[in-house]
Amino acid sequence: MTLLKKFDENGQEIGSPEDVPINETNFQQYIEQYGKERAEGYKDAFADIMKEISGMMTGSDKFGEFANSRQVIGRKVQIFHNEKSLTLEKLVQLLSDSKLQP
């Protein structure tokens, strides 16, 4: 599932979420529809993801920094995916909780 959906001039969703790329046009449409403040959350989320991915690509030891092997990167990606999936599930539960107020 992509984070942003594509809309036509009438605000109707175009296509399925799977075939909509995240790009500048979609961000612009999102900002126009929901405002800059709400879009800040996407910026922060992408920055966090990029920081995590950058950390997966390299390692370091007493001799300095080095590129991680495919196996190490794959293992780190799997761990990252599992952790973020659980976090997302918890967030969805919190947001759907009727006791929480906006």
Instruction: Supply the pLDDT for residue 53.
Output: 92
Instruction: Supply the pLDDT for residue 35.
Output: 86
Instruction: Supply the pLDDT for residue 32.
Output: 87
Instruction: Supply the pLDDT for residue 2.
Output: 45
Where b means 16+ CB within 10 Å and e means fewer, 40-77 reads eebeeeeeeeeeeeeebeeeeeeeeeeeeeeeebeebe
Each residue's pLDDT, cut to its tens digit, for the chain (102 residues) gives 345 556 666 666 666 655 555 777 878 888 888 888 888 888 888 899 999 999 999 999 999 999 999 999 999 999 999 999 999 898 888 878 766 565
| pTM score, whole prediction | 0.60
